[in-house]
């Protein structure tokens, strides 16, 4: 039965992942999520039903548009697959529980954040607001009130901590070092994984971003590196591993 749930959730995940690709690309640009229907960005060919099957269509068509034969990026299929994995992993780690619901919401929101920030350098407020509201509702239903209040406090601590880090970065680099979306994202991270893991996720994300930043610097490319994707990956890793950070507080007791 467990295998059945894992397979079903993976399938649901890749289907939703296909939609998240659309949301992450169109929402920051203020475009409709419905119109125009899915199409080839090169020749505007409207995709038919058999061309919209997540992952399968990408492989079946040989990574090419059926009309103009333009190569299709691995980007879309990769995030369909990753969403499927995260949905299945949510059940493997948490079973059917409040944490499972929170995991599905968090995975969905952060996948969209990664897609959006990578492609447009924008993290949509609507996506973050949806994540915060739905996760808090799930916590109010499934957790004790004191735990929910602690999570809200954690979100505030992470938000303020990221804001202070931005102010420091602005002074050091003498330009805007971080976007407002990253700061708002930290509130979502804080209410989900706690302030200890939330603050650690910033450090973790910086280590993940460092090699890529060095490569870009070496190539002398004038390119800004979005921090949201690295922060999202770090938060997901810490969330699924469920590390207990209470030992940090014990160091000062």
Q: Residue 202 and residue 227: Cα distance in Å, rounded?
A: 9
**Cα–Cα distance measured from residue 127 to residue 36, given in angstroms and rounded to the nearest whole number:** 21
Determine the pLDDT at residue 57: 82
pLDDT at 174: 74
The pLDDT of residue 247 is 46
**Predicted structure pTM score:** 0.90
Q: What is the mean pLDDT of each run of 10 residues along the chain (253 residues)?
A: 90 95 90 76 70 81 73 87 97 95 98 95 95 97 95 96 89 77 96 94 92 74 81 96 58 46
Task: Quote the CA–CA distance of 239 and 15 in Å, as a whole number.
Answer: 23
Q: Which residues pair with 71 in a beta bridge?
A: 64
Instruction: Please report the pLDDT score of residue 253 as a whole number.
Output: 47
Residue with tokens 């995030």: 79
Euclidean distance between CA atoms 165 and 73, whole angstroms: 35
pLDDT for 175: 76
Q: Enumerate the domain spans of the chain.
A: 1-96, 136-245
Torsion of CA 20, 99, 82, 121, to 10 degrees: 50
Whole-number pLDDT of residue 122: 93
DSSP state of 54: T
Token representation of residue 140: 């109010």
pLDDT at res. 133: 98
Distances (CA, A) of 244 to 21, 32, 72, 249: 33, 42, 42, 11
What pLDDT, on the 0 to 100 scale, is given for residue 244? Answer: 55
């Amino acid at each position: 039965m467990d295998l059945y749930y894992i397979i079903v959730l993976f399938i649901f995940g890749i289907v939703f992942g296909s939609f998240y690709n659309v949301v992450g690309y169109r929402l920051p640009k203020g475009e409709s999520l419905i119109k125009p229907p899915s199409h080839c960005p090169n020749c505007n060919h409207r995709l038919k039903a058999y061309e919209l099957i997540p992952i399968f269509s990408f492989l079946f068509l040989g990574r090419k548009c059926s009309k103009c034969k333009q190569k299709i990026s691995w980007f879309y299929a990769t995030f369909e697959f990753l969403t499927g994995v995260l949905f299945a992993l949510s059940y493997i780690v948490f079973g059917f529980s409040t944490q499972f619901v929170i995991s599905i919401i968090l995975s969905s929101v952060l996948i969209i954040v990664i897609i959006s920030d990578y492609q447009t350098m924008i993290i949509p407020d609507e996506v973050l607001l949806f994540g915060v509201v739905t996760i808090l509702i799930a916590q109010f239903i499934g957790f004790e009130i004191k735990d929910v209040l602690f999570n809200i406090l954690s979100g505030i601590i992470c938000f303020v901590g990221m804001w202070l880090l931005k102010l420091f970065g602005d002074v050091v680099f003498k330009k805007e070092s971080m976007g407002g979306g990253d700061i708002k994202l930290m509130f979502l991270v804080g209410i989900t994984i706690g302030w200890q893991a939330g603050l650690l996720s910033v450090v973790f994300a910086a280590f993940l971003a460092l090699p890529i930043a060095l490569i870009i610097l070496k190539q002398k490319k004038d390119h800004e590196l979005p921090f949201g994707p690295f922060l999202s990956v770090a938060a997901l890793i810490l969330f699924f591993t469920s590390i207990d950070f209470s030992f940090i507080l014990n160091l000062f007791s």
